[in-house]
Amino acid sequence: MDSRETILDTLRRNTRETFDMPDLSQLQPITFADPVAEFITRTTTTAGAQLLELQTGETLNDAVRKAYPDAQVIASNIPGVDASLNPDVSDALTLMTADVGVVEGAIGVAENACIWIPQTMKEKAVLFASQQLVIVLRRDAIVSNMHEAYALIAQSKDYFQQYKFGTFISGPSKTADIEGALVYGAQAARGVTVVLC
């Protein structure tokens, strides 16, 4: 018996009282009268991301350049974005040079400001290796809660047609130590900008 099994066996022998799982069928997921407004609020507060709304006549490329005027290397395969690096590269390490990665989000979730991003490029590293990440999201793709988001993902088989990966991202990467010192960009992008269109 290995150490893991020894620990689990000790726990089982010393458990005096057990409880059934609670019935969660009566719980109703949170909903919002205006999911878009709630998403905007939580994106800029709870998630710590920036939010830009495309103005009339403004292109996506204009918005990216306005948000990151000093960016030298922009990685994206979205039509209309003037990118110098396509994430359909043969070597993911190439994406480490990206100042800004621009990707398309499929579903926004108002309750926690998460955005579902299916892999639509060969190398998903653009999501994590770019210094700054721009996520493009349609307003009509925002739902109230994770229950609705997972239902949409389950219904949409095309999210996993070519690639078998997708992830929820909510704001910039951050971590804190036991003393509460918060560090941004510890595991992925140092900053996230959501562009609503």
pLDDT in tens, 111-162: 999 999 998 888 888 888 899 999 999 999 999 999 999 999 988 777 666 7
DSSP per-residue letters across the chain: --HHHHHHHHHHHT-----PPP--TT------S-HHHHHHHHHHTTS--EEEEPPTT--HHHHHHHH-TT-S-EE--STT---SB-S--S-GGGGGG-SEEEEE-SEEETTTTEEEEE--SS-TTHHHHSSEEEEEE-GGGEESSHHHHHHHHHH-GGGGSS---EEEE-SS-EEE-TT--EEESSSS-SEEEEEE-
How confident is residue 176, by pLDDT bands cut at 50, 70 and 90? confident
Q: What is the pLDDT of residues 69-78, one digit of tens each?
A: 999 999 999 9
Torsion of CA 106, 107, 112, 114, to 10 degrees: -10
Supply the pLDDT for residue 70.
93
Which CATH superfamily includes the segment(s) 29-172+188-196? NagB/RpiA/CoA transferase-like (3.40.50.10420)
pTM of the entire predicted model:
0.82
Per-residue pLDDT at 165 = 86
Those residues whose C-beta lies under 8 Å from the C-beta of residue 37, and which sit 6 or more positions away, are: none
Higher pLDDT, 102 or 19: 102
Using a pLDDT cut of 70, give the percent of the chain over it: 97
pLDDT, average across residues 160-188 = 78
CA distance linking residue 98 with residue 87, whole number of Å = 10
Q: Read off the pLDDT band of 188 (50, 70, 90).
A: confident
pLDDT computed for residue 160 by the predictor: 67
Residues 6 or more apart whose Cβ sits within 8 Å of residue 172: 48, 49, 133, 184, 185, 188, 189, 190, 191, 192
Mean pLDDT on 171-188: 76
More confident residue, 193 or 121: 193
Question: What pLDDT score was predicted for residue 17?
Answer: 85
Averaged pLDDT score across all residues of the chain = 88
* Highest-confidence segment of 13-22, 39-48, 100-109: 100-109
Place of tokens 């609020």: 41
* pLDDT, position 22: 83
